[in-house]
Chains A and B, each alone.
Chain A
Amino acid sequence: MLELKRIVIADDSFTARMVIRRCLEMIGLEDAEIVEAANGKEALTKVKQSPTDLLLTDLNMPVMDGDTLIKWVKASPKLFALPVIVITSAGNPAREKSLLESGAAVVIQKPLSPAKLTESLKIIEQGGTKDV
């Protein structure tokens, strides 16, 4: 399994952040440092502050949305390799394709579950991209 020491979660809903945090803990990542951000801009600041191993993000957020966050991350030479998982309730195959093309590793349809998260991390470990 991937070694994930620091994980940043970006979602404007603290319920969603808690659900993601709980899923991370349930799949054995309870020792990882989990950092929460309420929008894309805050998440970008946090991934720049300290080396981060994984970014999980919602799409619809105030201030900076998930699409823009991914573009900023992938445009940064320092952050380019950071794996990004998008967790969304939006169903748009064209948008999902575009997210994967713009650098997201995996797009997960809500509701998130430990099984979906585990599958996503396996995909990242194998270097692939996919909708889950």
Chain B
Amino acid sequence: MYERLDQSMVEAVADTFENLAFMEAVPAASAEKPAAISSPVAASILILEPVVGDISLTLPRQLAMQVAETIYNLAHDEITAEMIRDIVAEFLNTFGGKFLNEFLEPGQMYSLGTPEQGEVASALCEEFVRTWYFVAEGMEFTVTLTGEEFGDASGR
């Protein structure tokens, strides 16, 4: 039922990791829910149009550090907490837009808010929540989408 939704999100995340960090991000193979991410860094972004919802990204700090080292070409101890926050926000902003671009009808208008730090405890929607588990550089990370109209749209 959620094939198009899944495909759009997987493509958006993979394309973003490939272009921004030269990393391969693929869906986690295990059908079981992976263990909780250790030392997570997270951000969320509101979807403002054409439907209301939000997308969140939660990465292990170690993966965020590797991405930062690649993008900034800096040593591990030169990466600051601000750089990590900025990377998570920029990745989320980029694949969030690409996901909507892929998922919605061609030419349909969409709008995102500004990325915010921290894990999402969405107050907007509790009826449709979908989480994708990915692996990059051998580390698992998650992407979560909420917004009840996504559930409806996926079934059309």
A interface residues, Cβ below 8 angstroms from B? 13-16, 18-19, 22, 60, 88-95, 109-113
In the complex, chain B residues whose CB is within 8 Å of the CB of A92: 109-111
Across the interface, A111 reaches (CB within 8 A) one of B16, B72, B110, namely: B16
| CB pair A14 B19 closer than 8 Å | no
| CB pair B109 A94 closer than 8 Å | yes
| CB pair B83 A111 closer than 8 Å | no
| CB pair B109 A14 closer than 8 Å | no
In the complex, chain B residues whose CB is within 8 Å of the CB of A89: 93-94, 96-98, 112
Tally chain B residues at the interface, Cβ within 8 Å. Answer: 28
- The reply to whether the CB of B75 lies closer than 8 angstroms to some CB of chain A is no
Chain A CB within 10 Å — which of B19, B90, B101, B107 has the most? B90
| CB pair B97 A91 closer than 8 Å | yes
| CB pair B94 A110 closer than 8 Å | yes
**CA of A93 to CA of B105, assembled, Å:** 12
**CA of A93 to CA of B100, assembled, Å:** 13
Chain B interface main SS type: helix
In the complex, chain B residues whose CB is within 8 Å of the CB of A22: 71
Given A19-B19, A92-B109, 18 other A-B residues pairs in contact with their CB atoms under 8 A: A14-B83, A14-B86, A15-B20, A15-B90, A15-B91, A16-B90, A19-B90, A89-B97, A91-B101, A93-B107, A93-B109, A95-B109, A109-B98, A109-B101, A110-B16, A110-B93, A111-B94, A111-B98
| CB pair B71 A18 closer than 8 Å | yes
B interface residues, Cβ below 8 angstroms from A? 15-16, 19-20, 71-72, 83, 86-87, 89-91, 93-98, 100-101, 104, 107-112, 114
Across the interface, A91 reaches (CB within 8 A) one of B86, B90, B110, namely: B110
Q: A15-B87, A15-B90, A91-B110 are in contact. Are A110 and B98 (CB under 8 A)?
A: yes
Across the interface, A90 reaches (CB within 8 A) one of B90, B107, B111, namely: B111
**CA of A67 to CA of B123, assembled, Å:** 32
Residue of B nearest to A13 (CB): B90
In the complex, chain A residues whose CB is within 8 Å of the CB of B97: 88-91, 109-110
| CB pair A13 B89 closer than 8 Å | yes
In the complex, chain A residues whose CB is within 8 Å of the CB of B101: 91, 109
**CA of A13 to CA of B90, assembled, Å:** 7
In the complex, chain B residues whose CB is within 8 Å of the CB of A94: 109
Q: 4 tightest CB-CB pairs across the interface, nearest first?
A: A89-B97, A111-B19, A15-B90, A110-B94
**CA of A91 to CA of B109, assembled, Å:** 6
In the complex, chain B residues whose CB is within 8 Å of the CB of A19: 19-20, 71, 90
Nearest-Cβ distance from residue B102 to partner chain A, whole angstroms? 10
Nearest-Cβ distance from residue A71 to partner chain B, whole angstroms? 20
